[in-house]
């Protein structure tokens, strides 16, 4: 296959698909290659739900980035006629008085974002299932919520296709042909077929170190566990109309209301053990994690503790050392770009990441400041 004048995107997750849509919107011919289907359940973007939050403690950079992404999600909602971003709000449960939640609250206030501080008594009234004794106070922002991840990828694929983007699932890239002068001359798939374009974007998620082997992309993969559970009682009050996305920064736990056949989901954002991308053991939940979930629930949402119907889910983070992303041109390859290392918090930014990578590739100056995301920051560390 030859797409001499086009851009080749490797990776059909949220980042690759969204970049493809924006590149086509900016007039480029684009082909997206993925080793699996688009979307696929092995990729980080192939899950049902992801959190959209504006709270990032004192790190106003990410809050600002989420605010810049919000209109892009709302535009996708309008175009699809669906709530791909469902704004049922995010409730952050504070275990200390002057910590992450207070910092988040101050940043949102400063940026004039609607945010409420909910004291214990009011928390008990609004959310009787939450053990207010375990919480100093909570903050709630209504603009946050949950993104239907795989659905959003599918919708972006259909939008991109309307703009002429070609999607080639089940094409695994195995080799990158690089030349010191010309940069990338082509990429070969596992069957030896050559794919050539004017520029290449590598958005391979957790597979990036293998995809760009020899280029020293410092990403470490971790296994992250999640647990789907059916509330044993009072199910109705866990519907998204009544119950927001919730997070407890001090414990690492977060969760979603009922969304899948009467099941809700909880997960731990803290880094899990080293993982390996690819098929195998996706539902292999260690009993220790189930125990941790029950301990979290006993403390914060006691009536859920003794759940009996549940299922495990294993997913992988592609982590950088500092949890900042990698969005840059590749060293020694003026026509090669990478968007990866989204460290377990990238999905919410997908549409903006795609737009920014497209701006970078067409040679414009991206609106987003990419200083924090440059590859060069890892040198000598
Ligand atoms: C358990 C879990 C919970 C998360 N929760 C949140 C959250 O609440 N909010 C949030 O914002 N983010 C969250 N994230 C992070 C978010 O899901 C990811 O940052 C995002 O989905 C990454 O998208 P991506 O396109 O970079 O990678 P992926 O979605 O993994 O896509 C990469 C694609 O590249 C393809 N590929 C790789 N190598 C090759 C090759 N050699 N040839 C061809 N194709 C290839 C793969 O098949 C894959 O489809 C979470 C992640 C996990 C795992």
What atom in ligand 1 is closest to the CA of residue 14? 25
232 is a domain residue: yes
Ligand 1 midpoint to CA 39 (Å): 10
pLDDT in tens, 203-251: 999 999 999 999 999 999 999 999 999 999 999 999 999 999 999 999 9
71 is a domain residue: no
50 C-beta closer than 6 A to ligand 1: yes
Ligand 1 midpoint to CA 43 (Å): 5
pLDDT computed for residue 3 by the predictor: 45
Say yes or no to pLDDT of 381 above 60. no
Judgement on whether residues 274 and 353 belong to the same structural domain of the protein: no
Judgement on whether residues 335 and 196 belong to the same structural domain of the protein: yes
Q: Provide the mean pLDDT of the chain.
A: 95
Calculate mean pLDDT across residues 332-337: 93
Structural domains in the chain (count)? 2
83 is a domain residue: no
Judgement on whether residues 263 and 334 belong to the same structural domain of the protein: no
62 is a domain residue: no
pLDDT computed for residue 241 by the predictor: 94
pLDDT computed for residue 103 by the predictor: 98
The residues, ordered by sequence, that sit 6+ positions from 85 with a Cβ below 8 Å of its Cβ are 52, 73, 74, 76, 77, 145, 146, 147, 152
Judgement on whether residues 271 and 297 belong to the same structural domain of the protein: yes
Judgement on whether residues 174 and 128 belong to the same structural domain of the protein: no
Calculate mean pLDDT across residues 328-339: 94
What's the CA gap between 178 and 122, in Å, rounded?
A: 61
What atom in ligand 1 is closest to the CA of residue 38? 49
- CATH, residue 229: 3.30.9.10
Ligand 1 midpoint to CA 33 (Å): 15
341 C-beta closer than 6 A to ligand 1: no
- CATH, residue 333: 3.50.50.60
Judgement on whether residues 157 and 190 belong to the same structural domain of the protein: yes
Ligand 1 midpoint to CA 94 (Å): 29
Of 272, 297, 319, the domain-final residue: 319
pLDDT computed for residue 379 by the predictor: 83
Calculate mean pLDDT across residues 355-378: 96
Judgement on whether residues 200 and 299 belong to the same structural domain of the protein: no
pLDDT in tens, 23-67: 999 999 999 999 999 999 999 999 999 999 999 999 999 999 999
Judgement on whether residues 26 and 174 belong to the same structural domain of the protein: yes
- The alpha carbon dihedral of 355, 360, 362, 363 has a sign of positive
pLDDT computed for residue 336 by the predictor: 97
Judgement on whether residues 94 and 125 belong to the same structural domain of the protein: yes
Range of the domain at 308: 90-142+220-319
Task: Indicate the pTM of the whole model.
Answer: 0.97
347 C-beta closer than 6 A to ligand 1: yes
pLDDT in tens, 269-309: 999 999 988 776 555 788 999 999 999 999 999 999 999 99
Ligand 1 midpoint to CA 317 (Å): 8
pLDDT computed for residue 279 by the predictor: 74
Q: Nearest C-alpha to atom 51 of ligand 1 is from which residue?
A: 344
pLDDT tier at 2, thresholds 50, 70, 90? very low
Of 284, 302, 319, the domain-final residue: 319
The region that residue 146 occupies, defined by phi over 0 for left and psi between -120 and 50 for alpha, beta otherwise, is: beta
Judgement on whether residues 303 and 161 belong to the same structural domain of the protein: no
70 is a domain residue: no
Least confident of 22-26, 197-201, 228-232, 328-332: 328-332
Judgement on whether residues 302 and 159 belong to the same structural domain of the protein: no
Calculate mean pLDDT across residues 183-208: 97
pLDDT in tens, 135-187: 999 999 999 999 999 999 999 999 999 999 999 999 999 999 998 888 999 99
Judgement on whether residues 11 and 160 belong to the same structural domain of the protein: yes
pLDDT computed for residue 282 by the predictor: 58
Beta strands (DSSP E) in 180-271 are 183-189, 194-195, 199-202, 220-229, 245-248, 253-260, 263-268
User: For residue 155, what are its two tokens?
Assistant: 């919708």
Calculate mean pLDDT across residues 249-263: 96
What atom in ligand 1 is closest to the CA of residue 267? 1
73 is a domain residue: no
What atom in ligand 1 is closest to the CA of residue 205? 27
Ligand 1 midpoint to CA 217 (Å): 16
């Amino acid at each position: 296959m030859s797409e001499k004048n086009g851009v080749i995107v490797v990776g059909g997750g949220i980042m690759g698909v969204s970049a493809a849509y924006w590149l086509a919107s900016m007039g480029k011919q684009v082909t997206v290659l993925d080793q699996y289907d688009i979307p696929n359940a092995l990729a980080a973007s192939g899950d049902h739900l992801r959190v959209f939050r504006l709270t990032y403690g004192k790190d106003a950079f990410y809050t600002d980035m989420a605010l810049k992404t919000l209109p892009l999600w709302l535009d996708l909602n309008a175009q699809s006629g669906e709530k791909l971003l469902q704004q049922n709000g995010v409730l952050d449960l504070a275990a200390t008085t002057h910590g992450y939640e207070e910092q988040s609250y101050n940043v949102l206030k400063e940026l004039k974002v609607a945010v409420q501080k909910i004291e214990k008594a009011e928390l008990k009234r609004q959310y009787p299932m939450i053990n207010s004794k375990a919480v100093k106070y909570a903050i709630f922002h209504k603009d946050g919520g949950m993104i239907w991840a795989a659905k959003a990828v599918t919708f972006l694929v259909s939008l991109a296709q309307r703009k002429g983007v070609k999607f080639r699932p089940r094409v695994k890239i195995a080799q990158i042909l690089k030349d010191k002068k010309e940069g990338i001359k082509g990429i070969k798939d596992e069957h030896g077929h050559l794919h050539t374009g004017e520029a290449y974007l590598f958005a391979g998620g957790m597979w990036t170190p293998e995809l760009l082997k020899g280029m020293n992309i410092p990403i470490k993969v971790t296994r992250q566990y999640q647990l789907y559970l059916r509330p044993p009682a009072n199910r109705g009050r866990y519907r998204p109309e009544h119950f927001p996305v919730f997070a407890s920064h001090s414990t690492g736990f977060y969760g979603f209301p009922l969304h899948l056949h009467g099941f809700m989901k909880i997960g731990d954002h803290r880094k899990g053990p080293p993982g390996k991308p690819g098929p195998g053991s996706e539902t292999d939940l260690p009993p220790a994690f189930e125990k941790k979930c029950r301990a979290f629930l006993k403390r914060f949402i006691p009536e859920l503790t003794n759940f009996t119907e549940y299922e495990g889910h294993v997913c992988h983070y592609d982590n950088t050392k500092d949890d900042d992303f990698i969005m840059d041109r590749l060293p020694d390859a003026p026509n090669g770009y990478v968007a990866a290392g989204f460290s377990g918090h990238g999905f919410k930014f997908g549409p903006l990441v795609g737009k920014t990578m497209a701006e970078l590739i067409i040679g414009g100056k991206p609106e987003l400041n990419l200083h924090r995301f440059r590859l060069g920051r890892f040198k000598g560390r």
